[in-house]
Every structure is written in C-alpha cells, then in structure tokens.
Structure 1
Amino acid sequence: MREEPLRLLAGAAAGALATVADTEQWPALRTRVAAVLAPDLADLVSARMDDARRRLVAAPRVRLELARAEFTTEWRGSIHTMLWERPEAAGPLRAVLHDVSPALPRVVGDFAAGATARR
C-alpha cells in the first residue's frame, strides 16, 4: 500500500478518536481501533490511548481544541506506524471508521467529517 493512503487513514482514525475522547463513545471506538491495529497488543495500545485521553480531558476548556489537535497529531503518527507495520489492518480500520461515522458528534471543523468525505 502506498504511503499517502496510510497517512490519510491514520489521520482519519486519530481525528475520530479525538472527537469522541470526551464522550460515551470513547471506550467502544478505542477498543475497536486497538484491536484492529494491534491484535496481540490491544490492551497496551488501549492503555496508551487512555493516557492520551486523560491529558485531553484534563485540559482547561479554553485549551480543549489545542489538546484535541495534540492528541490527533500524537495518534496520527502512532496509528500510521502501526498501519505501516500491518498494512492488512487498513481495510478493517476503514470499516470501523465507516461503522462509527454516522454516530460521531458533528461540529463545525469536525476533522472526522472531513476525513470521511475524502474516503
């Protein structure tokens, strides 16, 4: 698989995770993404995602969008690396994002909505 599709998919997944980080959708999406990306290390990946999420939700309200952007940047790189190592996970990850796309919160500038449109 070419580099650019993996990078875009990683960005879409990271954006979706950042979007739901402070919602009740977080546990399900985190679990599904971790299981697809690293089936043998899903618990470890989930724990790392939870650590990043704690930083995001602890951010003061005036800094929340910056915290979401930082989360997205951090996880875009991590997800891209995992996809590079396991490119066969790209299809299942796309399916997860497609499944949750209608349920994602919609706000102006929602990265996940823009990423969905590019697929």
Structure 2
Amino acid sequence: MEAELAVLAGTAGTTLVTLLTTEAWQRVSDGITSLWRRAEPERAEAISAELEVARTDLLAARETGDSGTGGELGAEWQGRIRRLLVAHPEEAEVLRALLDELRPALPDVPAVTQHATASGHARVYQAGRDQQIASS
C-alpha cells in the first residue's frame, strides 16, 4: 500500500507544480487545501499559504530561466502529500478524483519509450533528458 501511495503522491506533486503557473492554479490550490482541510484542518491555511509561496517562487524561477526550482518544488510537495496519505490513507481516493479532474488542464507532453538490449560486455546508456558520461 505504501508504494501505491508513493506513486500517487509523485503524480500529485508533479501535477501540482506543472499547473501552478497555469490558469488552473487556483483549482489546484483549492483542491490540495481541501485535502488538508479534510485530513488535518489545523494545517489547511498554512498549506494554502505555502502553495501561494510555491507559485510565486516558480513564476520567479521561470522568469530567470531557473529550471531546477520546478523539480525541487515537485519533490517537496510529493513528500508532503505522501506523508499526508500515509497518515490518512482514506484521502487517497479524494486525491485520485482531484487528479482526474485536473488531467484535462495538463499540457500535452509527448510520450517517450526507450528500448535497449545489451549482451556480452556491451553497455547501454539511456536518458530521457541530459546525460553526461565522465571517464575516470
């Protein structure tokens, strides 16, 4: 169950950060805040404020060409959401419904499929983005 919650939290963290700078950001903020309001009401307002800060940080990072902030924020929110789901697994269905609702707002990203076969002493190096190989 914990692995399933981690995957769900990963999807949620990525979706949240992807949509924070789009027209859907208010729906994302409302949905995530509502999730906390149901599970841990005493933290809901702080979560809402932290989402606003994350949005501001992400907008500023995009203006300066900082591509690392999005990944950092995604990992941060993935961890928060995972911990919430571990403490309150009953909220997983609510989160799934929110993600289903938000799916149409996500930008189209082409799928990448990689296949490789190595035999003998061969090596295969694959990357979905940048890859650096340094010899020692």
TM category, shorter: 0.7 to 0.9
Q: Percent identity?
A: 35
Deviations 1:32-63 (A, max 9, x none): 12212343132221111211221111114421
Query: RMSD of aligned C-alpha atoms?
Result: 1.6
TM-score with structure 2 length normalisation? Answer: 0.72
TM-score with structure 1 length normalisation? Answer: 0.81
Distance in structure 2 (CA, Å) of the matches to 1:102 and 1:68: 20
Quick check: which one's helix share is greater?
A: 1
Matched with 2:25 is 26
Matched with 2:56 is 54
Question: Where in structure 1 are there 5+ consecutive unaligned residues?
Answer: 110-119
Look up the SS of the partner of 2:109 in the other structure: coil
Look up the SS of the partner of 1:22 in the other structure: coil
Amino acid at match of 1:95: A
CA-CA distance at 1:107 after TM superposition = 3.2
Amino acid at match of 2:32: V
Question: Where in structure 2 are there 5+ consecutive unaligned residues?
Answer: 112-136
Deviations 1:49-82 (A, max 9, x none): 211221111114421x321111101101111111
Larger relative contact order, structure 1 or 2 (CA cutoff 8 Å, min sep 6): 1
Distance in structure 2 (CA, Å) of the matches to 1:106 and 1:46: 27
| Cα distance change on mapping 1:74 and 1:27 into 2, 3 Å | same
| Cα distance change on mapping 1:96 and 1:19 into 2, 3 Å | same
- Structure showing greater Rg: 2
| Cα distance change on mapping 1:33 and 1:13 into 2, 3 Å | same
1:98 maps to 2:97: no
Distance in structure 2 (CA, Å) of the matches to 1:24 and 1:77: 25
Runs of 4+ in 1 over 6 A off after TM superposition: none
